[in-house]
Amino acid sequence: MKFATSTSPHTFQTDSVQKVMLEVLLALVPGIIAMTWYFGWGILVNIAVSVSVAVASEVFVIKLRKRPALPVISDLSAVVTGVLLALALPPLLPWWITAIGAAFAITMVKQLYGGIGYNPFNPAMAAYALLLVSWPKHMTSWLPPSMLNSTPLDFGQVLNVIFTGAMPAGLSWDTISSATPLDEMFTRLDMNQMIEEIRQSPLWGDFGGKGWEWVNNWYLLGGLYLLFRKVISWHIPISIIASLLVLSGLAYMIDPAVHPFPAFHIFTGGVMLGAFFIATDPVSACTTKKGQLIFGASIGALIFIIRSWGGYPDAVAFAVLLMNMAAPTIDYYTKPRVFGEVKDTSDD
């Protein structure tokens, strides 16, 4: 009798990449609902466009490489990339910009490097950066949150705007669009206005931008779910938030007139999404625990620096991309002490 032979171990947990990705998608649901609630159907349309282009691009590349596509796309990583990119985009962005972003993320950032596991950069963030640099005007035209939006568009109108660029009768871009709270804050700070004045604007809620603060809360909730399910570890998100809090807190203590208070930094823009869903992308992040703390803290610091002194209003994407570059080096120098390793006293 002949037997099958494989190497040990002979038992495996039933976890799979697909399961991990499903958990991530599940954790994004509250945030997605909140975004749609505040910013309209455009969010869902963006997700639909982005995900389909991402998956189609992946199939295309895999076919080019003459490999079976089904096992690759069924790991759902392309879907996650598509969703994350879409969530960073303005709600009425022309569909072709979204499509270019998704295609770029999958073909150039992910598959060109060999597919999942090999990409040094977070695909969604690299694509976001590309779009921001190439179409800055489109990429910064947000809608006001629903409570401030006097002319909410219905589903048909949204489709029309996204796919044909045609505005509903009587409306123009200028009348419906609005800057994001972050944009508003730092543009007006640049104009030497005081925080007190800026906060008079109706955009502001309790601690962040109206609407935005709640979106961030829901992302936070999803993030906590991922933590609870052990899909991610606490190291990266907590260190991002902590370092951002500490730095903005320090600045705020030095001069509250020109530095927004810490909660503003945390609950505005893409910090929660970035901290829990994007920077934790294991492929492009640090893999050692100590390294993850350094990685996260540096992202927090970079967000603060770029927001305060850089040219772009939100900095999450750039901060993550910059630290993606540093991750392998950080990993090398933060190897944990192995079992039985005696503390280095002499050589090395």
Partner 1 sequence: MHVPGTSINRNKRKLWQFHGGLHLPDHKSMSMQRPPVDALLDDLLVIPLQQHIGEPPEILVKEGDKVLKGQILARANAYVSAPIHASSSGTVVAIDEQPVPHPSGLSATCITIETDGQDKWDDCLPEPISDYKSCSADELLERIHWAGIVGLGGATFPSRVKLNPGPNKPIDTLVVNAAECEPYITCDDALIRNHAQEILHGIHIVMHILSVKLCLIGIEDNKPDAIAAIQKALSEHDTGDIELVVVPTIYPSGGEKQLIQILTGKEIPGNGLPADIGIVCHNVATLFAVNNAVSKGYPLISRMVTVTGEGINKPQNMIVPNGTLISSLIERAGGYHNNVNELIMGGPMMGYALSSDKLPVSKATNCILVTQKDNAPANTPAACIRCGKCAEVCPALLLPQQLYWYARARDLDKVQDFNLFDCIECGCCAHVCPSHIPLVQYYRFAKTEIWAREEDKRKSDIARQRHEFREARLARIKAEKQAKLRKKKEVLEKKKAADVDPKKAAIEAAMKRAAEKKQKLQEEGKIPANTENLTTAQQRQIDDANKRRENSES
Site residues (vs partner 1, CB under 8 A): 1-17, 19-20, 71, 75, 77, 114-118, 233, 282-283, 285, 287-289, 331, 335-342
For the CB of residue 73, give the shortest distance to partner 1 in the complex, in Å.
12
For partner 1, the closer of residues 22 and 159 by Cβ is 22
Tell me phi and psi for residue 232, to 5 degrees.
-125, 160
CA dist 280 and 276 (Å) reads 6
CB of 230 to partner 1, least distance (A): 8
The dihedral of CA 195, 201, 203, 204: what is its sign?
A: positive
What's the closest the beta carbon of residue 194 comes to partner 1, in angstroms? 45
CB of 306 to partner 1, least distance (A): 26
Q: Please, which residue, 4 or 191, has the CB nearer to partner 1? A: 4
The Cα-based distances of 121 to 4, 66, 102, 341 in angstroms read 40, 25, 14, 33
Q: How far is CA 256 from CA 129, 189, 251, 271, in A?
A: 30, 12, 7, 21
Straight-line distance from the first to the last Cα atom of the chain, in angstroms, rounded to the nearest whole number? 54
Task: Please report how close the Cβ of residue 37 comes to partner 1 at its closest, in angstroms.
Answer: 32
d(CA 242, CA 239) in angstroms, rounded, equals 5
- CB nearer to partner 1: pick between 155 and 332: 332
273: which residues sit within 8 A by CB, 6+ positions away? Answer: 31, 84, 87, 88, 216, 219, 316
Question: Which residue lies nearer to partner 1 by CB, 3 or 309?
Answer: 3
Residue among 191 and 342 whose Cβ is closer to partner 1: 342
**Nearer to partner 1 by C-beta: 196 or 348?**
348
Q: Which of residues 209 and 223 has its CB atom nearest to partner 1 in the complex?
A: 223
Tokens at 82, concatenated: 């598509």
| CB 31 to partner 1: min, Å | 22
Residue type for position 332: Y
Query: Taking the complex as a whole, how short is the minimal distance between the CB of residue 239 and partner 1, in angstroms?
Result: 15
For 209, the 3-state DSSP assignment is strand
Q: How many CA atoms lie within 13 A of 245 on its CB side?
A: 11
Looking at beta carbons only, is 9 or 202 nearer to partner 1? Answer: 9
Distance from the Cα of residue 320 to its chain's centroid: 9
Please tell me the distance from the alpha carbon of residue 134 to that of residue 235, in angstroms, as a whole number. Answer: 33
Q: How far is the CB of 212 from partner 1 (least distance, A)?
A: 30
